[in-house]
Amino acid sequence: MDSKQRFLAVLTGALPDRLPVTTHHLMPSFLKRYMNGISNDEFFDYFGLDPILWVNAQKPDERQGEYFDPEHVPGYLEPRRISSDTWRIVPEVVTDYRIIRYKFITPKKTLTVLLQSDEHTTWVKERMIKEKSDIDIIERYATKPQCNVEEVNREAERYGNRGMVRGAVNSFDVYGQPGCWQDAAVLYGIEDLIMATFEDPEWVHAFLNVLFQRKKVFLESCRGAKYDLLELGGGDASSTVISPDIFEKFVAPYDARLTLLAHEAGQRVVYHTCGGMMPLLERIADLGVDAMETFTPPAMGGDADLKEAKRRIGRRVCMIGGFDQFHCFIHCSPEEVRKTVRKCFQDAGDGGGYILSPSDHFFEADIEILKVFADEARKCVY
């Protein structure tokens, strides 16, 4: 099998020739520091991993007065930004410490968000939603990007059978996540959002519905896009952040509908939960998703037990992840890495339906250890 056939086999319940092995997002800082700035494809080729091409492509609805932001230069994994005369996004550098204020200018009010970055990543320093009525501004004025099917398909044709073509359900402008709850947590703050589920649940549902409607437009326009997998969910929906009760009431109703919309458009869905998963395994599978990730090990702050997860939901969905990149990619012996790879395969690989991958992205790794990781995984044959 080639890599694309191997990925599609495990995503559709068929048995591959060997264990598919890949990695989550490759961080630019890692490629620059450790790999002399090579491309993602060069990285996959160098280590003999099964490649993933990430394509995030949006387009405006010109009938609604939307257009591509002429000033925007897309950043890491960011699609071209969609603006309108009533929804303009203006960045403003605040300090030399990589702090940028983004102004969302509308006829009624200007919303702002503050992002801070270092050489590795970016985080939210000031949330956008400062008053509950701010969601009304988003509902009235925010653009609703569509999937740029033509761009996705051009990239898919170019990639051929090299590997998987993967994207994500659209997230909020500048900084967001695919799931409705996760997007809301970014915009409002997870602690405040959790408290609001107790103090003002109707407002939380209204907020989530505003975000759902934007994602609904995107997914309905995905028909014909040659994606192999679309990402949904987010770490703030994990059981190490929220209770199963909050998941049931505020996460599942919206993400289940998004999954259904994706399937109606001919797309497969992977649910990303970087954190605790075990108390939610069956409930996430009940969303109807095709795959689940990241199965973060306890040593990394998660709770994943791959063998138990395989027993409980491994015949219903494809499992992706489970490898401890923090402890096994640096300061680890080759023998220990091979042992860890084999344990992942033994615990989750039975009958297929498993893709070995670090449980999320990584910023540091021993190059020789990465070679061992890939080599041992390729020896895990069916």
Cα–Cα distance list, 320 to 69, 235, 296, 332, 365 (Å)? 35, 15, 10, 22, 20
User: Does residue 89 lie within any of the structural domains?
Assistant: no
User: Does residue 121 lie within any of the structural domains?
Assistant: no
Q: Tell me, what's the pLDDT at 22?
A: 98
Per-residue pLDDT band for 99 (boundaries 50, 70, 90) equals very high
User: Does residue 109 lie within any of the structural domains?
Assistant: no
Among 314, 283, 299, 317, residue whose Cα is nearest residue 359 = 299
> What does the pLDDT average to over 248-253?
98
User: Does residue 105 lie within any of the structural domains?
Assistant: no
Lowest average pLDDT, out of 87-96, 103-112, 158-167, goes to: 87-96
- What three-state secondary structure class fits 99? strand
Spatial neighbors of 158 by CB under 8 A, at least 6 apart, are none
Task: Characterise 128 by phi-psi region: left (phi > 0), alpha (psi -120 to 50), beta (else).
Answer: alpha
Among 207, 255, 253, 213, residue whose Cα is nearest residue 231 = 255
User: Does residue 119 lie within any of the structural domains?
Assistant: no
Buried b (16+ CB within 10 A) or exposed e, 331-340: ebeeeebbeb
Per-residue pLDDT band for 15 (boundaries 50, 70, 90) equals very high
Per-residue pLDDT band for 250 (boundaries 50, 70, 90) equals very high
Express each pLDDT in 335-367 by its tens digit.
999 999 999 999 999 999 999 999 989 999 999
CA angle 275, 355, 154 (to 5 degrees): 100
One-letter amino acid identity for 196?
Answer: A
* 96 pLDDT more than 90: no
Prior bond of 122 cis (ω within 30°):
no
CATH code for position 340: 3.20.20.210
Q: Specify the DSSP class assigned to residue 18.
A: B
> What does the pLDDT average to over 182-206?
98
Beta strands 291-293 and 318-323 are: parallel
Rounded mean pLDDT of the chain? 96
Distance from the Cα of residue 310 to its chain's centroid: 22
Tell me how many domains the chain contains.
1
Express each pLDDT in 130-143 by its tens digit.
999 999 999 999 99
User: Does residue 91 lie within any of the structural domains?
Assistant: no
Residue 286 main-chain phi, psi, to 5 deg: -65, -15
Express each pLDDT in 16-33 by its tens digit.
999 999 999 999 999 999
> What does the pLDDT average to over 186-210?
98
One-letter amino acid identity for 3?
Answer: S
* 95 pLDDT more than 90: no
Q: Give the structural domain span for 306.
A: 3-82+129-378
CA trace torsion 94, 83, 24, 312 (10° rounding)? 120
* 278 pLDDT more than 90: yes
User: Does residue 110 lie within any of the structural domains?
Assistant: no
How far is the C-alpha of 291 from the C-alpha of 87, rounded, in Å?
A: 35
> What does the pLDDT average to over 1-28?
97
User: Does residue 255 lie within any of the structural domains?
Assistant: yes
Q: Tell me, what's the pLDDT at 98?
A: 87
Q: Tell me, what's the pLDDT at 142?
A: 98
